[in-house]
Amino acid sequence: MPAGSLQDLYNQQGKIQESKCFNYAEQILEGLQYLHSRRIAHMNIRCETIVFETEDKLRIAGLSHIIIGRQMISSADYGKERWTAPEVFNEAHDHGFYDYQSDIWSLGCTVVEMLTAECPYAYEKYLPSVIITIGMGIPPETGQSLSTRMKNLLQKTLCADPFKRFGAKNILKILRSVEGDIYIPVDMNPISSKAVIPKVVYIDPQGSTTTSKGSTKWKKGIGVYEM
């Protein structure tokens, strides 16, 4: 039975098979869709912050960096450059701004991390080179042959332009299609105008997000709680 995080899993077992990557990506996307619908950006999606609740269920931890809505940040604020979206570094795309779509890029990097059992851009030794590469919108390489379905997933998540990058809802549609290679129109507004902004967001020691209403419940197996 796996224990710890996705990073622990690949450190113990090596590269993660595509079939498992799709399963894990779908669970992470369910959690992100839930957070984004409440105007919460996670800002820290990577294998180290995705942990096993049970053998088959994941939870999103590492929520100490969350933001509500869209905010300007710096690399010093974030500190996880190899998973950071191009718009944070590139002046052509609102330099320094992070929002929900930035989480989607980080998810794509997390999938690459699972496939390679290495951090994104592991072949780039120096951090300034990594930042330049990301700022140019160049996605991390996998160095291996991928299925059409996986190529499609990475294409949708690792799109340099945040306005053309798919939202969590539409990527889930692709993953749940028969072959995962159908075309879904880009979700230009992933957050519904009817989305409810939580009045209070708490972070507990286990990294669970809660709001101030109702009673605790699970959301589709992901460790994101609604109160």
**pLDDT given at position 93:** 52
**pLDDT given at position 177:** 77
Q: Find the largest Cα–Cα distance for the chain.
A: 48
What b/e readout covers 138-177, taking b as 16+ CB neighbours within 10 angstroms? ebbebeeeeeebbebbbebbbbbebeebbbbbbbbebbee
**pLDDT given at position 98:** 76
pLDDT tens-digit map of 29-60: 999 999 999 888 888 999 999 999 988 899 99
What CATH number was assigned to the domain covering residues 6-181?
1.10.510.10
pLDDT tens-digit map of 89-100: 876 555 567 788
The H-or-E segment that residue 21 falls in is helix 18-37
Q: What is the domain partition of the chain in residue ranges? A: 6-181
Taking the chain (227 residues) in runs of 10, the rounded mean pLDDT of each run is: 84 96 96 91 92 91 64 54 89 66 96 98 93 94 93 95 93 77 39 32 35 35 35
Q: Would you say the C-alpha torsion 164, 167, 170, 176 has a positive or negative sign? A: positive
Residue 40 — left, alpha, or beta (φ > 0 → left; ψ -120 to 50 → alpha)? beta
Residue 208 CA, distance from chain mean position: 16
**pLDDT given at position 27:** 96
**pLDDT given at position 11:** 96
**pLDDT given at position 26:** 96
